[in-house]
A and B are shown apart, each in its own frame.
Chain A
């Protein structure tokens, strides 16, 4: 079994020195997500500027406990999303989800998901997919909670 496809240097870099970590103010929404099978947890705060799809992520802060994959995923995601608009993020999140559910058949487009391609090795390990996607689900839940897109 090829462990190096899972534990890349990029994963460990983010695990050791996570970007944008820690909970900050101000924030428009805060969510807490748990992976009940392993007990991994993330608290994620989202601060937006502007309205609707053009609202921009002014800050995304988080406190994550979990495996290297889940912590690296939160770090990479925060770095990827901060400064982008909700509209810009939508295809990034969609691509991430698609690749993670492709059972390792897709490697992911670095132009779209940046460092997160380093996480796509986990797609070959079905029980690790949730580790990677937990932070992304938390972002999406936080976005809904801000109601910047209205009630939907």
Chain B
């Protein structure tokens, strides 16, 4: 039985929406794109939404009284509402557009370090405070917190990784204390595929009065998300990993927190009253969107949310889960290949990283690329995670709505070819 009949998910119909999937890398080599965890491809609906906006309504938003400016502002704010609904945010006003998820996380880290006396104590990180992260974090959810600690005199601590590729929560009680101001954690590891027990962690953090910042870059594109019930205070994700454009990220934050936070970047559009002596700031989200924002990207990202919503995120998650299981089972059969991540199951999702004994991932990726199989190699911006497992890097396949079982099989066959290719030099 094919995928359509087993799960009611028509992957071929989905693929027809993605123009880039039709291209060939060269005459004999079709594109087998297994790097959606780095950036996903965009369907015609997203590309068209941006083109339609640019050819009909393009103008600077929130300024000028002309009709075009109003149309552009409507498109921008309409996009905010669409995206808010997609992730279950109680209000569109809780969504801040940033240039990417990295900027969204930096926004929070910077704002919490401002240390102004007028800012409520729970939104101020200073000497003696602790920031808790995990050993599995992407650099985007690690370095800003290291820097916040360095600037403020706070201490950075981390939840270690266990041998089974999950977080080791044995010492959680001693790591998460009254001193902890912030817990910053990924929803899903971009390397291991591990899903973190976010509800449990958020409850524990709130019990000691800490804020919870979620890196949702790898979860929002791949599973149903309802931020209102997840228990976190902030969440960051990027447009380009969820079928949307580059140049846009989203920070979601609880309204009462955003309302009390000092700004990150300052300038036009984020002000209330400006005199030569000083400035008062606009309410969120405008307070955190200094300068002319990315409008066509917001429109494109809203179109991506509509596209994913129409597919149904439950269906997307089931589709990718089946691919993940297939990849893990296939790769495990190969000599010298070790999957770096938990077994297939409910606690992991679709990033499948692996190691080939004695071979550097760069070399593995090069041979796979010669067969059109496009994967990511290296440390995937999670260097401490790799160091934890004694690895310099891994090869990672990652999936999206358009990935097929045949492509997963091509990865497994490709790895067989990689092994054969290098074996002839090992005589």
- Is the pair A39, B393 in contact by a Cβ cutoff of 8 Å? yes
Q: Are A66 and B370 in contact (CB under 8 A)?
A: no
What's the dominant secondary structure at chain A's contact region?
mixed
- Knowing A39-B386, A65-B392, A68-B360, the reply to whether A125 touches B378 (Cβ < 8 A) is no
Contact B366 A6 (CB under 8 A): yes
**Does A90 count as interface, using CB distance less than 8 angstroms?**
no
> When the two chains form their complex, are residues B26 and A38 in contact, meaning their CB atoms are under 8 A apart?
no
Total of A-B residue pairs, C-beta within 8 Å:
50
> Are A3 and B392 interface neighbours, CB within 8 A?
no
By a CB distance below 8 angstroms, the chain B residues around A128 are: 362, 366
A65 to B360, CA, bound (A): 9
B363 at the interface (CB under 8 A from A): yes
Q: Answer whether A66 and B369 are a contact pair too, CB < 8 Å, given A39-B378, A39-B383, A40-B392.
A: no
B contact residues around A1 at 8 Å (CB): 26, 29, 369-370
- Least CB distance from A69 to B in Å reads 8
**Segment 72-124 of A: residues with Cβ below 8 Å from B:** none
How far is A6 from B365 in the complex, measured between Cα atoms in Å?
13
For B, the interface residue count at a CB cutoff of 8 angstroms equals 20
Among A1, A16, A41, the one with the most B-chain Cβ atoms within 10 Å of its Cβ is A1
Is B363 touching A68 in the complex (CB atoms < 8 A)?
yes
The smallest beta-carbon distance between A71 and chain B, in angstroms, is 8
Give chain B residues whose Cβ lies under 8 Å from the Cβ of A38: 361-362, 377-379, 393
Asked whether, in the complex, the Cβ of A66 is within 8 Å of the Cβ of B366, the reply is no
Query: Is B415 at the interface (CB under 8 A from chain A)?
Result: no
- Closest Cβ of chain B to A59, distance in Å, is 26
Docked complex: A1-59 residues within 8 A CB-CB of B: 1, 3, 6-7, 9, 12, 15-16, 37-41
Interface residues of A (CB under 8 A from B): 1, 3, 6-7, 9, 12, 15-16, 37-41, 65-69, 125, 128, 131
CB-based closest 7 A-B pairs: A67-B362, A12-B425, A67-B360, A38-B378, A1-B370, A39-B379, A67-B363
